């Protein structure tokens, strides 16, 4: 059983996975790789003064998440079964993966949320027909199911969806641990 399954591996999902895995949560990302970001040329993301293509950003996100300890499964989640102590994600090939919590970072593809009884609503940004109706902390109306990124209606900009994935992951980590989570590394003083 995983501590956290993240459905969707765009900027929001990869960023959430980095925080969750670094916090020691057993983390699985399941991604069908049909996201918005694959089609973008991104010139407004902090840290890339010369711009970065969407595909590069997605690939760097996956590499960073895996290096942080997250597992990554290529595939499409077709159903979420909620009950008992957690959630089961079922993929199109019939694989079943269980977790204490599931985070939906599914961009504009909200079908799997709706099939699990997760409430959706019209998106507030142009060309976003549907998003998850999430609470400010990322929780949805279904226990153990959270949402972030474009799916959480925060924005259609990579810097914000990535940040929102991290924000909601911190909320999940904090809820599982019962104390507020902070992930800081400190620059070591030069020796010699």
Ligand X SMILES: Cc1cc2nc3c(=O)[nH]c(=O)nc-3n(C[C@H](O)[C@H](O)[C@H](O)COP(=O)(O)OP(=O)(O)OC[C@H]3O[C@@H](n4cnc5c(N)ncnc54)[C@H](O)[C@@H]3O)c2cc1C
Task: Name the phi and psi angles at 78, rounded to 5.
Answer: -105, -20
Of the candidate spans 3-11, 17-25, 130-138, 179-187, the one that interacts with ligand X by CB under 6 A turns out to be 3-11
CB nearer to ligand X: pick between 6 and 25: 6
CB nearer to ligand X: pick between 13 and 86: 13
Q: Cβ distance 51 to 144 under 8 Å?
A: no
Q: Which residue has the tokens 């911190």?
A: 170
Of the candidate spans 1-9, 18-26, 80-88, 131-139, the one that interacts with ligand X by CB under 6 A turns out to be 1-9
User: If binding is defined by CB under 6 A, does position 36 make contact with ligand X?
Assistant: yes
- The nearest distance, CB 187 to ligand X, in angstroms, is 28
DSSP tag of 139 = B
CB nearer to ligand X: pick between 44 and 191: 44
Give the three-state DSSP class for 173.
helix
Give the three-state DSSP class for 168.
helix
- The nearest distance, CB 150 to ligand X, in angstroms, is 4
Q: Which residue has the tokens 């499409």?
A: 76
Q: Cβ distance 97 to 89 under 8 Å?
A: yes
Distance CA 171, CA 164 (A): 11
User: If binding is defined by CB under 6 A, does position 47 make contact with ligand X?
Assistant: no
Stretch 152-171 residues interacting with ligand X (CB under 6 A): 156-158, 161
First to last CA, the chain: 47
User: If binding is defined by CB under 6 A, does position 64 make contact with ligand X?
Assistant: no
Q: Which positions touch ligand X (CB under 6 A)?
A: 7-13, 30-37, 39-44, 54, 76-77, 105-107, 109, 112, 149-151, 156-158, 161
């Amino acid at each position: 059983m995983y501590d956290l399954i993240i459905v969707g591996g765009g900027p929001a999902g990869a960023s959430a996975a980095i925080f969750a895995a670094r916090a020691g949560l057993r983390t699985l990302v399941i991604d069908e790789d049909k996201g918005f970001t694959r089609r973008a040329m991104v010139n407004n993301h902090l840290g890339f003064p010369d711009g970065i293509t969407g595909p590069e950003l997605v690939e760097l996100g996956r590499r960073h998440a895996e290096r942080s300890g997250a597992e990554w499964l290529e595939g499409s989640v077709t159903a979420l079964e909620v009950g008992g102590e957690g959630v089961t994600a079922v993929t199109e090939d019939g694989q079943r993966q269980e977790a204490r919590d599931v985070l939906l970072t599914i961009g504009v593809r909200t079908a799997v949320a709706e099939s699990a009884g997760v409430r959706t609503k019209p998106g507030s940004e142009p060309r976003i027909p549907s998003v998850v109706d999430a609470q400010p902390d990322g929780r949805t109306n279904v226990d153990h199911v959270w949402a972030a990124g474009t799916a959480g209606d925060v924005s259609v900009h990579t810097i914000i969806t990535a940040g929102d994935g991290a924000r909601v992951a911190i909320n999940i980590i904090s809820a599982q641990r019962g104390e507020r989570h902070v992930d800081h590394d400190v620059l070591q003083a030069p020796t010699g």
